[in-house]
Chain A
Amino acid sequence: MSTFIELLVGGISVGAVYALIALGFVVIFKATEVVNFAHASLLLVGGFVIAKTHPLVGFWAALLLGVAGAAALGALIEFAVIRRANVLSHSVLAIVTIGVDLILVTELTRQIGTEVLALGDPWGSDVLQLGSVNVPATRIAALVSAAVVITAFLLAFKYTSWGVAMRATAEDSETAALMGVRRGRVSMGAWAVAGALAAVAALFMCVFPTPGLDRNVTAVAMKAFPAAILGGLDSTGGALAGGFIIGITESLVGGYQEELSFLGRGLGDVAPFLVMIIVLLIRPAGLFGTKELARV
């Protein structure tokens, strides 16, 4: 039983991190209708900045720098690539983002090499013992931080002028323009927010029990993609639900893989994608997605 609870807590915590990444996908998709395959590189940049700056300025300032760096990179991609290409179709832009991702990841991989970079987080490898259940402190920190960040994001999305402009643009960009909304600003803001969310996620993907930041983080980040898809690519609520579903699935399937060994090893890595396919077979627009949008 305690194994189950440990796995569940671990899954919820990882799910919260996936939710952060998926939320970024969704924000960008809502604002620009572009599926951003460069998301993993935003994450990698955020993590890289934290790893490189924490020995110099301390962890918390490094975290801020990482968030700012990833946000700036997101805004830059929007400004330099996405905005220029606004005559192209959105599916072409999605492929363009693959190119951007490839360039950034290649460069960062070269920088990182074979190293595994520590992020200098204050939690280290502490393990909290709650009764018979052992939970790494980083997992709790991830859960709490993600909850705070997600709540702040949702409140901003609902109540600030930025959020209203964002939602108006997502629903009808031409009419939003008639209200005086600047589409460029909204879309750049969306990319920046997605970058910031990705940097926070990067932190928690690279702390204990993961050894640190290495070049394989982007592959891990890609698991947030099924989270966004199965929740519905245009639904913030869907991104959250999808994140948790994927996180818990992965954790439980990974934890019980001995019992599932007849299916072969490494099932935990495959499970998120299996869940995505099953959900899409039943609900083609995702759990909370808008049908018309998903058909595009």
Chain B
Amino acid sequence: MNVHDPRPPGASGLSVRDLAVNYGPVTALRGISLDVPRGAVVTVLGGNGAGKSTLLRAVSGTLRFQRGGITSGEVTLDGVKLSGAATSAVVARGVVQVPEGRRVFARMTVEENLRAGALGARDRRSAAEARERVLELFPVLAERARQRAGLLSGGEQQMLAMGRAMMACPEVLLLDEPTLGLAPLMAARIAETVREINAQGTTVLLVEQNAAMALSLASHAYVLEVGEIALSGPAAELAASDEVRRRYLGVGGDAGDPPVRPDGAAVRRPALSRWSA
């Protein structure tokens, strides 16, 4: 289990302070502060458009690909500034992202995808070691090594995307909705792998819509709503809080909630059993 007490800000790990991000005239994040202590799994929950991916882009330094930029605040790793650095420099410092939607290089083979993942590794010599570890985590990638990545199933592509990131021997792994669009069994498998990766010493910042899964993995959680942090606290506490249960775990309806299904009562029970599993 990964029960870590949240440490005070400024301790070792990834830290975001008063971050604001704009895409042109559109403000995507304002005044975001969060901490990912070393060795922890921290999750950021939120719906579509809450700014979850923007947060990860700000950490990785890929905002410019979307014509966005940090307008104030900063991101630090172990107290040393990370924001403003080139993406390659962020990777070189051991902060590696698995982007939303897997984004495997479809026209390249599985093997070549893994090689691409090692391109930014600080130590090229450790690539063989990293490869061994990745294939241990995802044995299916060894079987599919010579296939084009585009031919893999969604779950396999997610494994490849994570394996590719692990090739860089990350100290901090940023995961953007790794279970998006996956069948429940595959999602559970991915969750298990995240736990394993963390147990081997990699810090994880997990961005998810699947709150039940994320809260079961994380020690600390933040809830992002329209660019601001609405709630934060130890994952267990958040999982027990009425507001999170109502909004993200589908438990305990509220008049303020959009009536997604008329038979809401019937949906509650399976959702509840899933999160407590």
Interface residue from B62, B92, B115 paired with A178 (Cβ < 8 Å): B62
Q: Does B14 contact A (CB under 8 A)?
A: no
Q: Does A259 contact B (CB under 8 A)?
A: no
Q: What is the interface of chain B, defined by CB distance below 8 A to chain A? A: 60, 62, 65, 86-88, 91-92, 96-97, 99, 103, 105-108, 112, 115-117, 119-121, 164-165, 168
Q: Does A173 contact B (CB under 8 A)?
A: yes
- Shortest Cβ gap from A176 to chain B (Å): 7
In order of increasing CB-CB distance, the 3 nearest A-B pairs are A180-B120, A180-B91, A175-B103
- Shortest Cβ gap from A87 to chain B (Å): 8
- In Å, the complex CA distance between A154 and B96 comes to 30
- In Å, the complex CA distance between A177 and B85 comes to 12
Interface residue from A164, A175, A176 paired with B115 (Cβ < 8 Å): A164
- Shortest Cβ gap from A179 to chain B (Å): 5
Q: Does A52 contact B (CB under 8 A)?
A: no
Chain B residues contacting A167 (CB-CB under 8 Å) are 105, 107-108, 112
Summed over the interface, the residue pairs from A and B with CB atoms below 8 Å come to a total of 67
Q: Do the beta carbons of B62 and A174 come within 8 Å of each other?
A: yes
- Shortest Cβ gap from B84 to chain A (Å): 15
Q: Do the beta carbons of A179 and B120 come within 8 Å of each other?
A: yes
- Shortest Cβ gap from A262 to chain B (Å): 46
- In Å, the complex CA distance between A122 and B82 comes to 57
Question: What are some 26 contacts across the A-B interface (CB < 8 A)?
Answer: A164-B112, A164-B115, A164-B119, A165-B119, A167-B107, A167-B108, A167-B112, A168-B105, A171-B105, A173-B65, A174-B62, A174-B103, A176-B105, A177-B65, A178-B60, A178-B91, A178-B97, A178-B99, A178-B165, A179-B91, A179-B116, A180-B88, A180-B91, A181-B88, A182-B86, A182-B88
Chain A residues contacting B62 (CB-CB under 8 Å) are 174, 177-178
- Shortest Cβ gap from B151 to chain A (Å): 15
Q: Does A89 contact B (CB under 8 A)?
A: no
- Shortest Cβ gap from B158 to chain A (Å): 14
Which chain A residues numbered 161 to 204 have a C-beta less than 8 Å away from chain B? 161, 164-165, 167-168, 171-182
Q: Do the beta carbons of A180 and B87 come within 8 Å of each other?
A: yes
- In Å, the complex CA distance between A176 and B165 comes to 11
Chain B residue at smallest Cβ distance from A86: B64
Chain B residue at smallest Cβ distance from A290: B107
Q: Do the beta carbons of A171 and B108 come within 8 Å of each other?
A: yes
Chain A residues contacting B60 (CB-CB under 8 Å) are 178
Q: Do the beta carbons of A179 and B119 come within 8 Å of each other?
A: yes
Chain B residues contacting A176 (CB-CB under 8 Å) are 105, 116
